[in-house]
Structure formats: C-alpha cells, structure tokens
Amino acid sequence: MKLLCDQMLGTLAKWLRILGFDTFYAPNEMTDDALLEIAKKEKRILITRDKELIIRAKKQLIPTVEMQETDLIEQIRKVTKEHEIDENKFLSRCSVCNTELHSISKNMVNGKVPPKVFETKDNFWYCPTCNRYYWMGSHYDDMIKRIKMISSG
C-alpha cells in the first residue's frame, strides 16, 4: 500500500513513514493537479482533509481517505483500519525523505550519534539519502506503545 498525504498532514506523513508505509508528502508549492497526477501515476491512496480534492480524486478513480480526525493517534487508526500495521516494518523508512533505511551495526555509529544514545542503544538505522541516523528514542517508544494499543483493540 502506497500513500500520499497532502500539505496539511505533515505529522501524519512522518509517522506513517516511521511505521513503514511508503508515504509521499506533498510539498507546499505543489498544486492539486500535480498531487492528483502523482497519486494516479504511483497508485497512491490520497489522504486529505480537503473535500473538494476528495471529489476530484474520486472522479479520477483515485482511492482516498478523508481525514476529519485531528488527533494523531486517531488519524493513524483511520489509515490503518483497513491496512494492518506490520511491526516488522517499524523504522524501515526515513521519516524525512521516505527512503528505505539500512540497519547498521553499533560500531559504525560511534561518534556519529550523541554519546548517551551510543551508550544506551544497540540498534541503529541509516538513511543513505539524507545521511541521518535513527534509533528508538523515548519519543518513539511512547508513540509505538500508543499505536500498539489502538491496533490491538
């Protein structure tokens, strides 16, 4: 399943990527026409709050999720209601650029992440496109707990 979040849904796009979903996030300057074109060409499900955009997408047979929810957890629940979350895919994509992350060994991040992180974490990931290092920080842990709660009940 590939997704496309419009300009209003940046936080949701970031978390969908962290959960492993291939998610295109529309840049600010992108027109609705261009956005629909990408959804169609790349077979992405359009996620938006914009009712007019939903109507236009439906006319072009682009699948849509109309987002009325404002709470992030509720938004994730809505997107994943029909598409199960696969825990094996968590942290498999860069939250900034959507590239698939590489798992890298601890000794390769020495000096490249904060010392405290290096001391306390054992699993690291790397984005080859934007040169970022990832690990499961406390913000991540809290969020995953909340997401697991919604997906189990």
Q: In the complex with Zn ion, which residue's Cβ is closer, 36 or 127?
A: 127
Amino acid at site 19: L
**Position among 110, 129, 142, 148 found at the interface with Zn ion (CB under 5 A):** 129
Q: In the complex with Zn ion, which residue's Cβ is closer, 130 or 149?
A: 130
Q: Is residue 36 a contact residue for Zn ion (CB under 5 A)?
A: no
Amino acid at site 113: V
Q: Is residue 104 a contact residue for Zn ion (CB under 5 A)?
A: no
Q: Is residue 128 a contact residue for Zn ion (CB under 5 A)?
A: no
Distance between CA 115 and CA 109 in Å, rounded? 10
Distance between CA 92 and CA 18 in Å, rounded? 7
Distance between CA 69 and CA 87 in Å, rounded? 23
Distance between CA 114 and CA 125 in Å, rounded? 14
* Residue nearest Zn ion, Cβ-based: 94
Which one, of 27, 115, 138, 152, lies nearest residue 4 by Cα? 27
**Position among 67, 94, 109, 147 found at the interface with Zn ion (CB under 5 A):** 94
Q: Is residue 96 a contact residue for Zn ion (CB under 5 A)?
A: yes
**Choices 24-32, 52-60, 120-128, 138-146 (CB under 5 A): range interacting with Zn ion:** 120-128
Which one, of 132, 122, 124, 123, lies nearest residue 94 by Cα? 132
Strand partners, 66: 48
Q: Which of residues 42-81 bind Zn ion (CB under 5 A)?
A: none
CB of 96 to Zn ion, least distance (A): 5
Chain residues binding Zn ion by CB under 5 A are 94, 96-97, 99, 127, 129-130
